[in-house]
Structure 1
Amino acid sequence: MLSPLPKLPRNAKIAVVGSGVSGLMFSYFLTKLRPDVQINLIESQDRTGGWIKSWNTNDSNKKPVMLEQGPRTLRGVSDGTVLIIDTLRDLNKQSVVQCVRRDSEANKKFLLGIDDKLVQVPESPASAFEFLLNPLSKGLITGLLGEPFRKAPDQSGQDETVSSFLRRRFGNDYIGKNILSAMFHGIYGDDINQMSAKRTMRKLWDLEQKYGSILKGFSQKKPGNDKSPSLSPLLSQYRQAFDKDEKSLLDLSTNLRKYPMLGLKGGLETFPNAVRQSLNNSPNVKILCGKQVSSVQRDTQDSFNIQLTCGETMTDLNHIRLTQLPARISTMFAADNQELAQNLARIKANDIILVNYYLPGQDVIAKKYRGFGYLCPQANHNPQNLLGVIFDSVIERSFKPVFHDTPITTNSQTSKPYTKLTAMLGGHYLNQNGEKSLPSKEVTIRSVKDALNTHLGIPYDALDQGLWAFTIAKNCLPHFSVGYDDWQSSIEQELTKSYAGLISVGGMSFAKGPGVPDVISDGLEDALKLA
């Protein structure tokens, strides 16, 4: 939270609602900082980890295979990633940490052109030349050349849609529709014509506010290469609070920046599982799965009760941490604070459909297309409502151990030919006239087969032979609409005013960024405030 939080009293009793990585790591940090505090971690599902799910199953040959049905990689350049990897070191799990190097084929990325052919995102003069010959690049050169000469808005600081911001800065709609909309599909599953520029393009927004131009801002920012590396303010707080060795933490932070992405052996769920195991061994933490919160009620001036749908009541709570999406949190305040509940309910969320494809014994991805995957811009004719496709088998084959003392083992799966892909569909495309329309499993898988055949040339017989899995992640990504920052500020002000900071919020809807590392950094900041 941006607002201040009061320190917890001695032997406080708190509840953390939601056991995704936000709730897990907030609980983990707080129990290390304040072992006297009793923590009740409440989860409505029968598992912890939230949207991170590494599903272990068997293929048609009864051989084990892991399919990621949520996030699968982490950004190396991130405070939150440093916190994740350092936590895994503390839990003696550093051997699972893997990286993709910059020169790896898995670091290549593609966009789907308007001709349904893949075009590589430029990484070299040759790929840049090829990209500029593609219709996707229309308006790119003139837009970039003219950007420094375009005026900033008269009303500084007023939010607008991403598409409006890009049109103003680059003088056309092509850069947004043809290129950057694909990135927003991959991160948010959302429509640039509806999203907040101030919230989702913070760095570019701030450059315009400060310098009047994005490119002028980039040119005037000091490179900082002449300074010796140092820890970020958040990592410095972490080092001090957890008595970390400064050199070790700085070396880790510096080393991770070399890698465009990281992964974990056994899948990304290895991380929340390790944290869950640590919390299981903490005497002051109780994890309650299959329990759903129906309401939050004030008991006294300094304590609260939580009512569960099963009829149980949790009493005398000194602090409550809520990590779900705003619409879910709103139901908990319906009886106690109707105005707050209505304000929370304003924020909607997108559903993402994930379709996994696994084919043992064959690698059917053409060599020229092997990379991280491809994203679909909004300019495309897109009957499948496809957001993008991730080439999991290429990524897995490219992984190398991060730590030098980790033995290099041969994975029997990755040592043999195979194909593993994940298609992402839906998002804003599912919202028709304000109502969501979810296609069936059969229709969706047929659509993905058509897309993979058209875009990658994978023959239908190979597609029909593979293992298919279908997952709907309902309401998994908040819709960051125009004015979102003001909305968040109003929510936090109301929580501070009505509950004196004894209720805090976390998770993707309230963190500074949309990724797993962002919600973990947010959880650390608030745990430090409360401790």
Structure 2
Amino acid sequence: MPPRSVAVVGGGLAGLTAAYRLASRGARVTLLEPSRIGGWAQTQTYPVSFDRDGRHYKGEVTLEAGPRSIRPRGGPGAPAMLQLIHDLGLDDRIVPIPNDHPAAKNRYLYDPDRGTLSAVHASPLALFNPRTAPAVRQLMLAFAMEPFRRSRPPKGDESVASFFTRRFGADVARTASAFVHGIYAADPAHLSLRSAFGILHAAEKKAGSVVLGMLRGPRPKAEVDAETAAWAAIGPLGKAREGWSMYALRGGMGQLISGLEARARDAGVEFRKARVLRLSPDSRVNVETSYGPLRVDHVVAALPPPRLQRVLSAPLPHLSANPSTTVGVVNVVLPLPPKDVHPNGFGYLIPRGGHNPEGALGVIFDSTALPGTDEGGLEGAVTKLTVMLGGPHWSSYGGVRVPAHDDELVPLALAHLQRAFPHLDGVHPLLTVANLNHACIPTYAPGHGARLRELHEAIGTGPWAGRLSVVGAGYGGVSVNDCVLGADLVAKSLDEGTVTGLERWAEWE
């Protein structure tokens, strides 16, 4: 019998989605969140005015402190996200970035020693172009030679750094660290390959080679067929996304959060601004909060796992096993058109090592990466950049002090931009907005999948059986698509009985 009353603990994207989906299915839902709704998704609009070349400019800019783009492929979370956007009536807010757009084709690596940008080419012909940067040529050669490399995978899980060193060599592993920085802001030596980049593990397992496995298709047919059916169920929008490299929302990701909150309220979700102090199971679940006590049939926990562990009266294993990384995000608005600042494209990432005293992870060229998302009338007149700092530079890499306050991030970001773009000397930003996001992205340490299997078993067979489900980035993927998928699966499956939220890891080996 499905639970009649549910407490959703945590008001980020996963918690909001779970609350909305459960209430739409008839459950009586209370969402508990002590601070702002939306979690790491933070969209703000700021007024800006300036004079240039005898003309006065005035308008608004929309800035993101968290995620800003969405992938329309890459697993079952992609159709789950687009279906959610469609269900919320936000189709007219979608801003597609076509496959042939410069933001899709032009992505860069930054060499901190040379202070140069190198385009990451998709075409193999770039291998024979004398203008292709040595690091990129080396990367392409390593992938071309990978099928001929003899390397037996170790027993059990391995780190991303170990995998790339084994399959492609140490130099390529260093270059590949840039892509890890862009997704997980983590040290590849501390990140599980199978949990973070499972498709690469599956490709090698299938063909004995990553490249050959990818060419043959590493995903099981049943999984691909299910995803195809999910896209078809969305209708014309599911077909249109085939021409997109990525997409965003006009007005920013805040449109998704506000749309979810409004629809959840319409569906009957009660929002309480309250901190959860204790969760205790008996025949139901007692929820002690700063707002007062609550008694429900079921709890959906959308908290980071270590925070969940602290409020459980009956402990569960492995919730504190993974560390989380702290990231500084600095939005910078310059009084110049993008063509006068940077090449047309999405942005650049920075590999480990080299002269990087600010601990920069990469820079997003917001103005050209996601055109059409601003509604303030200044698109093309100003340049918006997002500088990402910290992560492993503030932990395992060492050498860079962790800032104590948001304001300390701004001089670091500006110093990095000055070195990357020396022609900006003397250009003063119109606006800088800094956010120090503490422990915001989990690092799935090797063995993560096996630990989730054991956690699934512990929830499903102990005092929490039938009373607790877990969702969110701490378990099955850090992207917005992953968060929506996990919440969707829990909401759909609760009608059928005991659901932990970790059923995908039940058979993990």
Query: What is the aligned counterpart of 2:187 among 178, 188, 191?
Result: 191
Give 1:362-511 correspondences, 5 Å limit. 362-363=336-337, 365-366=339-340, 369-397=343-371, 411=375, 413-431=377-395, 437-462=402-427, 464-498=428-462, 499-511=464-476
1:461 counterpart SS class: coil
Distance 1:164 1:19, change over 3 A: same
Distance 1:367 1:24, change over 3 A: same
Q: CA deviation at 1:59?
A: 2.7
| Residue matched to 1:147 | 146
Query: What is the aligned counterpart of 1:18 among 3, 6, 10?
Result: 10
Q: CA deviation at 1:258?
A: 1.6
- Alpha-carbon distance between aligned partners in 2 of 1:456 and 1:187, rounded to the nearest angstrom: 24
| Residue matched to 1:278 | 263
- Alpha-carbon distance between aligned partners in 2 of 1:190 and 1:150, rounded to the nearest angstrom: 27
What amino acid sits opposite 2:282 in the alignment? D
| Residue matched to 1:103 | 100
1:314 counterpart SS class: strand
Distance 1:465 1:202, change over 3 A: closer
Distance 1:63 1:529, change over 3 A: same
| Residue matched to 2:119 | 120
- Alpha-carbon distance between aligned partners in 1 of 2:151 and 2:396, rounded to the nearest angstrom: 34
Q: CA deviation at 1:184?
A: 0.6
| Residue matched to 1:135 | 134
1:354 counterpart SS class: strand
Matched, 1:31 2:23: yes
What amino acid sits opposite 1:233 in the alignment? A
TM-score (normalised: structure 2): 0.87
What amino acid sits opposite 1:503 in the alignment? L
| Residue matched to 1:324 | 303
1:59 counterpart SS class: strand
What amino acid sits opposite 1:507 in the alignment? G
Q: CA deviation at 1:88?
A: 3.3
Indicate conservation of the 8 Å contact 1:449/1:460, yes or no.
no
Structure 1 alignment gaps of length 5 or more: 1-6, 239-245, 400-409
What amino acid sits opposite 2:347 in the alignment? G
Indicate conservation of the 8 Å contact 1:82/1:252, yes or no.
no
Indicate conservation of the 8 Å contact 1:148/1:214, yes or no.
yes
| Residue matched to 2:294 | 314
Structure 2 alignment gaps of length 5 or more: 51-57, 496-509
Distance 1:390 1:528, change over 3 A: same
Indicate conservation of the 8 Å contact 1:329/1:344, yes or no.
yes
What amino acid sits opposite 2:344 in the alignment? R
- Alpha-carbon distance between aligned partners in 2 of 1:327 and 1:223, rounded to the nearest angstrom: 32
Q: CA deviation at 1:137?
A: 3.5
- Alpha-carbon distance between aligned partners in 1 of 2:191 and 2:480, rounded to the nearest angstrom: 20
Q: CA deviation at 1:257?
A: 2.5
What amino acid sits opposite 1:375 in the alignment? L
Query: What is the aligned counterpart of 2:272 among 285, 288, 295?
Result: 288
Matched, 1:352 2:316: no
Give 1:258-277 correspondences, 5 Å limit. 258-277=243-262
2:473 counterpart SS class: coil
| Residue matched to 1:242 | none
Query: Which segment drifts farther, 365-374 or 448-457?
Result: 365-374
1:287 counterpart SS class: strand
1:266 counterpart SS class: coil
Q: CA deviation at 1:151?
A: 3.8
Deviation track 1:467-511 (CA, whole Å, cap 9, x = no partner) reads 111101111100111111112222221111212232111101122
Query: What is the aligned counterpart of 2:42 among 38, 46, 53?
Result: 53
Q: CA deviation at 1:455?
A: 1.0
Matched, 1:233 2:202: no
Distance 1:415 1:353, change over 3 A: closer
Higher relative contact order (CA 8 A, sep 6+): 1
Deviation track 1:90-125 (CA, whole Å, cap 9, x = no partner) reads 333321111111222222111102412111110446
Q: CA deviation at 1:280?
A: 1.3
Q: CA deviation at 1:133?
A: 4.3
What amino acid sits opposite 2:334 in the alignment? L
Indicate conservation of the 8 Å contact 2:77/2:482, yes or no.
yes
| Residue matched to 1:8 | 2
- Alpha-carbon distance between aligned partners in 2 of 1:131 and 1:448, rounded to the nearest angstrom: 32
What amino acid sits opposite 1:48 in the alignment? I
Please tell me the root mean square deviation across aligned C-alpha atoms, in Å: 2.9
Deviation track 1:357-386 (CA, whole Å, cap 9, x = no partner) reads 1124x2255476121111111133211100
Deviation track 1:423-452 (CA, whole Å, cap 9, x = no partner) reads 011111112699983354454222211211
Q: CA deviation at 1:419?
A: 0.8
Distance 1:436 1:347, change over 3 A: farther
TM-score (normalised: structure 1): 0.84
| Residue matched to 2:88 | 91
- Alpha-carbon distance between aligned partners in 2 of 1:85 and 1:208, rounded to the nearest angstrom: 30
Q: CA deviation at 1:149?
A: 3.1
Q: CA deviation at 1:327?
A: 0.9
- Alpha-carbon distance between aligned partners in 2 of 1:419 and 1:89, rounded to the nearest angstrom: 31
Percent identity of equivalent pairs: 26
Q: CA deviation at 1:48?
A: 1.2
| Residue matched to 2:504 | none
| Residue matched to 1:162 | 160
Distance 1:429 1:278, change over 3 A: same
Distance 1:363 1:96, change over 3 A: same
Say how many residue pairs are matched.
483
